Chains A and B, each alone.
Chain A
Amino acid sequence: MAWIGTLILFVVMVLIVVPFYNRKLFDSLSSLSKGKLSRIDGVLLWIVSSLLFIGVWAFFSDLEPEGVNKIPSPLQTLSAGWRLLTSGKLLSEAMVSCLRIVVGFVTASLVGVSVGLIAGSFLIANRIIQPINSFLRYIPPTAFISLLIVYFGVGETYKYAVIFFGVIFFIIQMVIDVVEDIDRRYVEMALTTGYSNWRVFKEVILPASLPRVFDVLRINLSASWTFLVAAELIGAQSGLGHLIAMSQRYLRIDELYVGILSFGLIGVITDRGLELASRSLFRWYYLSLKQ
């Protein structure tokens, strides 16, 4: 019976229409109304968004009869999640995956941001690095997997390497673009202040690009989870990807859903954490965006 999903969707519609009926919210462009919502409206819309997701999910889960093809309901998935959580399995698998992300992604970030900043700032470095990076960036990262298994086996190093090679070429290119986007007049302003090239890099290019480099890292962090799963599906004995593979093998569909949704949950938490960190580290940037 699809009545639960339908009921939730109905509630969502009521929640959307009633409070915002007279506020012309739907007439305004999202870019103009951004940031102008009250806190209560913001919370209400967050509830609407969550209920919409659960409602659509519940609706489709009720369409199929019981069986392997049935999408587990939100409640069944929650119960499976609770089971995995209390047994400690979910947390331990998530910790293993997070550690792999930390090692692979942080290494890629350190190397990628450094190379990107240098290639974006200095012409000779740019002409040497950019052609190689553009070539490597067009090779699908998953094509490296077989090669990496040959070199590293299927141990931990291989998983770090998959994440590393999955994101590094994109980080380099995106950081180069960020540096090239810095208004030239800031550099000229520094040069007329008598700065050396090194000081221009340190005092202008670095601080001017850091907020957007942070955004680059946020985007690539989400991509690094894709490569983690690709790595964990082959030869892993632990991790969320392994949990998904095992759930699929033993047809524990509800646990499979828990594994998949865990990525989303971890992603939302880390992304929000990074956004808050960015807002506190680069207050000047968000102030200048408001102008």
Chain B
Amino acid sequence: MVLPELKTVAMAIIQLDNVTFSYGENEIVKDVSFSIDMPQIVSIMGPSGCGKSTLLHLLSGLELPQAGKCLFEGKILDRPSSNLRYSFQNFDSFPWRTVRENLLLGGATSGDSQEVFNIDELICMVGLEGHEGKYPSELSGGMRKRLALGRCLAAKPWVILLDEPFSSLDVDARQEMYALLQHLWDEWKCVFIIVTHDVHEAIILSERVVVSKPLPFRVNDIIDISFSYPRDDTLINTREYLLYASKLRLLF
């Protein structure tokens, strides 16, 4: 595994070809096709209950499509990979492990050859210095999200899936997390795939936004956001921001 090369090579790290998935009679994802290049931050948006989280399950290898193909690094994704990390909406860390132990466990990989972050370096990167010995329940909401990001990043994965990662945070904490996520992405040029309901979050963070129609998940449109990084709230006053925001709001 030659990770540094990934920073320079642009390739479709994830490719969905006509992916369809159902729970029993209920069709959740229908005929979805798109690809994600490396490195990129991609948001997935859509109305509540449209199947976004199920799509993340398919992208993580936890669920397998009944029709179509999910490709990761050009191979069919039929099981979770240590190069692909997933942060669940409200389950972002193991409560019985301290911050340091959670990050150490995050660095656990299935192959010995995989490079991992130095734990102290990682703690500094996500701004958790001084909290290493605490349990997740002793942390604030923002700190827990930092831990979740650190846990995902620990094994230097190529893809990180985040299911509504900042939905429970207040405005100030969100701003901090947007800056941190962009900083981490700049440090480690991987792919972030973020499920969000928040139009502002999607514009501030992502290069591409995949918008779904109501259930089952079907790609309604894919919008490219052309602002350069780092981005912050000053973008709100720009004409382009308003155009993107109104376009995204119209789509779902």
| A192-B62, A290-B137 as given contacts; A284 in contact with B96, CB under 8 Å | yes
Would you call A185 an interface residue if the criterion is a C-beta within 8 Å of the partner chain's C-beta atoms?
A: yes
Are A207's CB and B96's CB within 8 A?
A: yes
Which residues of A have CB within 8 Å of B23?
Answer: none
Of chain A, the residue at the smallest CB distance from B98 is A284
Of chain A, the residue at the smallest CB distance from B138 is A287
Are B94's CB and A288's CB within 8 A?
A: no
Would you call A122 an interface residue if the criterion is a C-beta within 8 Å of the partner chain's C-beta atoms?
A: no
Interface centre among A185, A192, A283, A285 (most CB of B within 10 A): A192
Are B91's CB and A186's CB within 8 A?
A: yes
Our count of residue pairs bridging A and B at CB distance below 8 angstroms stands at 65
Which residues of B have CB within 8 Å of A203?
Answer: 94, 105
| A193-B108, A287-B135 as given contacts; A186 in contact with B94, CB under 8 Å | yes
| A189-B86, A208-B96, A288-B95 as given contacts; A194 in contact with B137, CB under 8 Å | no
Are B88's CB and A194's CB within 8 A?
A: no
Which residues of B have CB within 8 Å of A30?
Answer: none
Q: Of the candidates B82, B136, B137, B138, which one forms a contact with A193 in the assembled complex, judged by CB atoms under 8 Å apart?
A: B82
Are A284's CB and B95's CB within 8 A?
A: yes
- Inter-chain CA distance A183–B81, complex, in Å, is 21
| A203-B105, A290-B137 as given contacts; A189 in contact with B88, CB under 8 Å | yes
Q: Which of A168-214 contact B (CB under 8 A)?
A: 183, 185-186, 188-189, 191-196, 199, 203-204, 207-208
Would you call A291 an interface residue if the criterion is a C-beta within 8 Å of the partner chain's C-beta atoms?
A: yes
| A189-B94, A192-B86 as given contacts; A284 in contact with B108, CB under 8 Å | no
Are B60's CB and A192's CB within 8 A?
A: yes
Are B137's CB and A189's CB within 8 A?
A: no
Which residues of A have CB within 8 Å of B91?
Answer: 183, 185-186, 189
Are B85's CB and A287's CB within 8 A?
A: no
A185: min CB distance to chain B, Å: 4
Q: Of the candidates A194, A208, A290, which one forms a contact with B108 in the assembled complex, judged by CB atoms under 8 Å apart?
A: A194
- Inter-chain CA distance A203–B101, complex, in Å, is 11
- Inter-chain CA distance A247–B121, complex, in Å, is 71
Interface centre among B60, B94, B109, B110 (most CB of A within 10 A): B94
Q: Which of A93-139 contact B (CB under 8 A)?
A: none
Are B137's CB and A287's CB within 8 A?
A: yes
Q: Which of B85-114 contact A (CB under 8 A)?
A: 85-86, 88, 91, 94-97, 105-106, 108-110
Interface centre among A185, A193, A199, A284 (most CB of B within 10 A): A193
Which residues of B have CB within 8 Å of A189?
Answer: 86, 88, 91, 94
Complex interface bits, B129-149 against A, C-beta within 8 A gives 1, otherwise 0: 000000111100000000000
Are A195's CB and B96's CB within 8 A?
A: no
Would you call B84 an interface residue if the criterion is a C-beta within 8 Å of the partner chain's C-beta atoms?
A: yes
Complex interface bits, A275-286 against B, C-beta within 8 A gives 1, otherwise 0: 000000011110
Are B80's CB and A194's CB within 8 A?
A: yes
Which residues of B have CB within 8 Å of A285?
Answer: 95-96
Of chain A, the residue at the smallest CB distance from B83 is A194
Which residues of A have CB within 8 Å of B138?
Answer: 287
Are A188's CB and B62's CB within 8 A?
A: yes
Are B135's CB and A194's CB within 8 A?
A: no
Of chain B, the residue at the smallest CB distance from A282 is B96
Which residues of B have CB within 8 Å of A193?
Answer: 80, 82, 85, 105-106, 108, 155
- Inter-chain CA distance A274–B94, complex, in Å, is 24
B171: min CB distance to chain A, Å: 22
Which residues of B have CB within 8 Å of A282?
Answer: 96
Complex A-B: 21 CB contacts under 8 Å: A183-B91, A188-B86, A188-B88, A191-B80, A192-B60, A192-B84, A192-B85, A193-B105, A193-B106, A193-B155, A194-B81, A207-B94, A207-B96, A207-B97, A208-B94, A283-B135, A284-B95, A285-B96, A287-B138, A288-B136, A291-B137
Nearest 5 Cβ contacts at the A-B interface: A194-B82, A194-B110, A192-B86, A185-B91, A207-B96
B residues contacting A by CB (< 8 A) are 60-62, 80-82, 84-86, 88, 91, 94-97, 105-106, 108-110, 135-138, 155
Besides the known contacts A185-B88, A194-B110, A287-B138, 13 further A-B residue pairs in the complex with CB atoms under 8 A apart? A189-B91, A191-B62, A192-B80, A192-B85, A193-B82, A193-B85, A193-B108, A194-B82, A194-B109, A196-B110, A284-B96, A285-B95, A290-B137
A residues contacting B by CB (< 8 A) are 183, 185-186, 188-189, 191-196, 199, 203-204, 207-208, 282-285, 287-288, 290-291
